[in-house]
Amino acid sequence: MGTSNGRRGVTVWFTGLSGAGKTTISKLVEHHLRAAAYPVESLDGDIVRQNLTKGLGFSKEDRDENIRRIGFVAHLLSRNGVIVLVSAISPYREIRDEVRARIGDFIEVYVNAPLHVCEQRDVKGLYAKARRGEIRGFTGIDDPYEPPLKPEVECRTDIEKATDSAGKVIAALVSRSYVEARAMAAGRRQC
């Protein structure tokens, strides 16, 4: 259990299909945590791939290694009292469970949206390219996504607002004593 100035660190792992809303919810949670003066760091899968895991492909082995590296950084931060928000597709259940076991202080957030909704939201056109065969091994099209079996939080972004989803995540942090409800309420007033 990581602490800094008496505060426990934790990794909040947002997993779901591309376009499900992981980054959107994570940014909202980050905004509220910063407003409440909590130490927070975001690790977005796309940004990590450009910097920390550049050169890894999209085979199962490379995807697992990508998640291990993100998990390693998240563990370093969270054991030092930082709230780490990870937004990564992380399609395979086994590697998510491996990272959870290593970190310990871990909240899994399943950002759940049906495939057709994610395809409608796809501003980069990646799903269309995958459907045309221009991208191989695309999660949800020709590579599997294994949903969490018992996530601490499930956000149904096809039927709930992003602010409501973020509220669920904050409630999970409060209920597990990673943040104080009073501090979060004070921070919300400043937003």
Which residues are marked as active site? 90
Give CA–CA dist 88/49, Å, rounded: 10
Give CA–CA dist 109/100, Å, rounded: 12
**Which residues have CB under 8 Å from 1's CB, separation 6+?**
8, 9, 79, 104, 105
Going 136 to 89 to 121 to 159, the CA torsion angle's sign is positive
Q: What is the dihedral of CA 48, 51, 54, 58, to 10 degrees?
A: 10
Residue 162 CB burial class (10 angstroms; 0-12, 13-18, ≥19): middle
- The partner residues of 110 in beta bridges, in order of sequence, read 15, 154
Q: Is the Cβ–Cβ distance between 9 and 83 less than 8 Å?
A: yes
Give CA–CA dist 183/5, Å, rounded: 15
